[in-house]
Amino acid sequence: NFPVIAIDGPTASGKGTVASLLAEKLGFHYLDSGALYRLVALASEKQGIDVKNGPELGLLVPKLLILFKNSQIFLNGEDVTDAIRTENIGLRASTLAVHPEVRTALVGLQRSFRQPPGLVADGRDMASVIFPDAVLKVFLTATAIARAERRYKQLIAKGISAKLFDLLQDLQERDARDSSRGTAPLLVADGAKVLETSDLSIDQAVKTVLDWYQS
Ligand code: C5P
C-alpha cells in the first residue's frame, strides 16, 4: 500500500495549506476531505434536502459527480471551487457531518485518493477512521484567536468582507460541534504527533512535518 500522511485538526488550523504544500513537495496526491463534506452541503442545499435527514443525505453521496482538477473543484460539471468555501456552507457541512450515513458513504471515495506514489490527507478523522495505517499522523492545531485571524486575513485577501468577532464565534461553535459529536469526534488519534502552529509560519510547519516524515 502507498504511504499516507494524515493531517487532522480543527477548522482554520492551517492544515489545508500545510497538507497541500507537503503533497507538492513530496509529489504526493492531496485529499481535502473537508471539501467532500462541503460538496454534500452544497448539493443537498440545492436539492432542498434537510440537513437533519441523515439517510437521505447518505443516499445523495453516490449520486454526486465530483472532480478535483488542479486547484478547481467541480460538482456535476459545475465549477464550485468558491461556492463551497462560504461560511454558510462550512456550517452546513459541519451540521450534516454528524450523520453516520454521510460519513460511511464518503469512506470509499476518500480511500480512492490513495494512489502512487503516496497521499497527504487532511481532515478530522484521517488518522483515526479513514487511514488508520497512515505512516505519519499529525494533529495540527492553533489557538481559536490565531485561527480566526488567519481566516479573517484569507477572506479579506479575497475581497470578502468579514468580522473577526463573528469568525471567532463561528469557529468556536464549529469546534464544539466537531468535538462533541458521537460519530468521529475531532480527537488526537492514537500515535499522532501534535503540532501547535499559533506561532509558526507556514514554512516552519511544513518543514516540521517533512522532518517527521523523513526521520
Ligand atoms: O475542513 P473544512 O472546514 O473544510 O470542513 C468542513 C466541515 O466538514 C468541518 O467543520 C467538519 O464538521 C466536517 N469534516 C468532517 N470530517 C472530515 C473533514 C471535514 O467531519 N474528515
Q: Residue 40: which domain range?
A: 4-210
Name the 3-class secondary structure at 25: helix
CA–centroid distance, 35 to ligand 1, in Å, is 7
Give tens-digit pLDDT for 116-143.
999 999 999 999 999 999 999 999 999 9
- Relative to the CA of 12, which ligand 1 atom is closest? 3
What is the CB < 6 Å shell around ligand 1?
11, 33-34, 37-38, 90, 93-94, 97, 123-125, 174, 178
Tens digit of pLDDT for each residue in 39-85? 999 999 999 999 999 999 999 999 999 999 988 999 999 999 999 99
User: By C-alpha distance, which of 95, 100, 119, 113 is closest to 44?
Assistant: 95
Q: Distance from the CA of 143 to the center of ligand 1, in angstroms?
A: 18
- Using a 10 angstrom Cβ sphere, with 0-12 exposed, 13-18 middle and 19 or more buried, the burial of residue 180 is exposed
69, three cell numbers: 482538477
Q: What are the phi and psi torsion angles at 48 (to 5°)?
A: 70, 30
Return the half-sphere exposure (C-beta side, CA atoms, 13 A cut-off) of residue 58: 14
Percent of the chain with pLDDT over 90: 80
Give the pLDDT of residue 176: 85
Cα gap 20→169, rounded to integer Å: 27
Q: Whose CA is nearest to atom 7 of ligand 1?
A: 94
Atom of ligand 1 nearest to the CA of 123: 21
Best mutation site among 124, 151, 181, 187 for ligand 1 pocket (most ligand atoms within 8 Å of CB): 124
Asked if pLDDT for residue 184 goes beyond 80, the answer is no
Distance 38 CA to ligand 1 centre (A): 8
For residue 15, the ligand 1 atom closest to its alpha carbon is: 1
Residue 83 pLDDT: 96
Whether 215 maps to a domain, the answer reads: no
State the total domains in the chain: 1
CA atoms within 13 A on the CB side of 177: 17
Residue 9: how many CA atoms within 13 Å on its side-chain side? 29
Distance CA 104, CA 108 (A): 8
Query: What is the per-residue pLDDT across 103-116, written as a single tens digit (0 to 9) for each?
Result: 999 999 999 999 99
Residue 94 alpha carbon to ligand 1 centre in Å: 6
pLDDT band at 86 (very low <50, low <70, confident <90, very high): confident
Q: Is residue 14 part of a domain?
A: yes
Quickly list DSSP for 184-209: S---PPTTPEEEE-TT--HHHHHHHH
d(CA 117, ligand 1 centre) in Å = 25
Per the domain annotation, does 182 fall within a domain?
yes
Question: In this prediction, what percent of the chain has a pLDDT beyond 70?
Answer: 98
Q: Give bridge partners of residue 30 from the DSSP assignment.
A: 120
Q: What is the pLDDT of residues 197-206, one digit of tens each?
A: 999 999 999 9
81: domain CATH number is 3.40.50.300
Question: Which atom of ligand 1 lies closest to the CA of 130?
Answer: 21
> From CA 38, how far away is CA 29, in angstroms rounded?
20
Cα 32 to averaged position of ligand 1 atoms, centre (Å): 9
